[in-house]
Amino acid sequence: SVLCINIHPGLNPYNRGWFPQVFSIINKLPIGATIHVMDEEIDHGDIIIQEEVEVNSFENSFDVYAKVQKKEVELFTKVIDDILNNKFTRIKPNSEGNYNSIHDYKNMCEIDLDKIVTMREAIDYLRAMTHPPYKNSYFIDEHGNKVFVALELEKIS
């Protein structure tokens, strides 16, 4: 058998699968980067190294993903020699965590305009779904038009 290593833009075991930063923002779960040994499951297996990134209330999916990508490069640079020389430590995940499929994501894209949520939940949902240049969240208006929604946040120091 061949040893395969994956660089995952999520903090395993949280939000394995598609768009971890989206689900982390919405579900208030940690986000970061994980380098792990691959097994038969998706984004699953012994962890070689991982690190959480901070998510601020003014950041959208694009912002968080950029931070995660930077962290992936940082971690990869830190462990590449150990991986190539087979001198790395394997850490078992502390739980099975959760997995989000592309269908889970696509099912979240259409906004239910009649759903009752708090303003915090609405803002978190919209910032999680805002990832320029992509158009993700939308609603169908009274004329049958598909209307895309994105959230612009600006922090003033």
Q: Which residues are catalytic?
A: 8
Residue with tokens 């889970």: 104
What is the enclosing helix (H) or strand (E) of 5?
strand 5-8
How many C-beta neighbours within 10 Å does residue 102 have? 10
Residue 82, φ and ψ in degrees, nearest 5: -65, -40
Residue with tokens 């949520």: 117
> In angstroms, how far is the first alpha carbon of the chain from the final one?
54
- The 3-state DSSP class for residue 21 equals helix
Determine if the peptide bond prior to 133 is cis (ω within 30°): yes
